[in-house]
Amino acid sequence: MTAAPDSYCVMGNPVAHSRSPWIHARFAALTDQALQYDRCLAPLDGFATALAGFAAAGGQGCNITVPFKLEAAQAAARQSPRVALAGAANTLARQSDGSWYADNTDGLGLVADITRNAGVALAGKDILLIGAGGAAAGVLGPLLEQSPRRIVVCNRTAAKAEALVAQHAELAARQNVVLQAQAQQALDGDFDVVINGTAASLQGAGVPVPATVLRPGSLAYDMMYGPAAAAFLDWAALHGATGRDGLGMLVEQAAESFALWRGVRPPSALVLAELRALLATEAAH
């Protein structure tokens, strides 16, 4: 008898929209890896129970999406340095003793998409990061490691932005980056790169910052993709910025997770091109 393929999932709420199963199926096909990858909808108050159930059924790894990235970090017996810094995890891998190892590949995926796929260097630039939740926490460290000139973190609740900045102050000093927290209501200045790390688009809320944060030709990047990113991208285009959705980040962070789980690096650029073509075809119908 042939052993059942290893089981993986994306766990979140909501999760029905996730393209992760398609992405990992393509990675597996292109690298000759046998695995099964599904969506797992966890109750908003039941992440730990859902994770335990997945583990009991033999699950070997999870991608974690909103709103469970902070809980995922706490659920792991071991954490990567990225998780220890961010306090948030988007990837869990089963260890030989059955416990979970947590990593955060979000920031690696974001940086790869901006610098490699979009061709925008971050060194010496002024960056605005909107949000201070799990998504923003996961990318701030890797953004700092690109040695921009300045990063401003803004959030509706200023105290959360201040806490995230304090968490990363030592890394910012090592990288010689000016790192500041500002309240959304009191944002000052404009930026080369504006990154939306909030779930405002999922909730149908408007763009959470004024257009004065944009410079002509600024990169305005929404970590969401598809319809959820449309309002932010329309806003960027209206004000002379270059909009980019988070589809490339999704594929690149998935590639990092896949490499952690399987020890094989998949062809992420090819899969991103395929996925964009698929989405364009779907939109046309």
Query: 10-residue block means of pLDDT along the chain (285 residues)?
Result: 86 94 98 98 98 97 93 97 94 97 97 97 98 91 98 94 96 98 89 91 74 95 90 94 97 98 97 96 89
Same domain, 82 and 126: no
What pLDDT does residue 115 have? 98
Same domain, 227 and 264: no
Sequence-separated (6 or more) residues with CB below 8 Å from residue 274: 26
Sequence-separated (6 or more) residues with CB below 8 Å from residue 284: none
With H, G, I as helix, E, B as strand and everything else as coil, classify residue 191: strand
CA gap 285, 275 in Å, rounded: 16
Is 32 in contact with 267 (CB distance < 8 Å)? no
What pLDDT does residue 1 have? 53
Question: What residues make up the domain containing 129?
Answer: 120-244
Same domain, 127 and 98: no
Same domain, 128 and 233: yes
Residue 98 included in any domain? yes
CA gap 37, 3 in Å, rounded: 16
What pLDDT does residue 202 have? 61
Least Cα distance to 53 among 44, 64, 41, 65 occurs for 41
Flag whether 126 is marked binding: no
Q: Quote the number of domains for the chain.
A: 2
Flag whether 157 is marked binding: yes
* 0.85 surpassed by pTM: yes
For 196, the enclosing helix (H) or strand (E) is strand 191-196
Same domain, 128 and 224: yes
Same domain, 194 and 261: no
Flag whether 223 is marked binding: yes
Same domain, 42 and 97: yes
Same domain, 254 and 276: yes
What pLDDT does residue 66 have? 86
Flag whether 19 is marked binding: yes
Residue 115 included in any domain? no
Instruction: Exactly one of 24, 26, 69, 82 is catalytic; name it.
Output: 69
Same domain, 91 and 169: no
Residue 188 included in any domain? yes
Residue 95 included in any domain? yes
**Alpha-carbon torsion (74, 80, 86, 92), positive or negative:** negative
Same domain, 78 and 149: no
Residue 56 included in any domain? yes
Same domain, 77 and 193: no
Residue 109 included in any domain? no
Same domain, 252 and 224: no
In the residue annotation, 69 being an active-site residue is answered as yes
Residue 185 included in any domain? yes
Residue 114 included in any domain? no
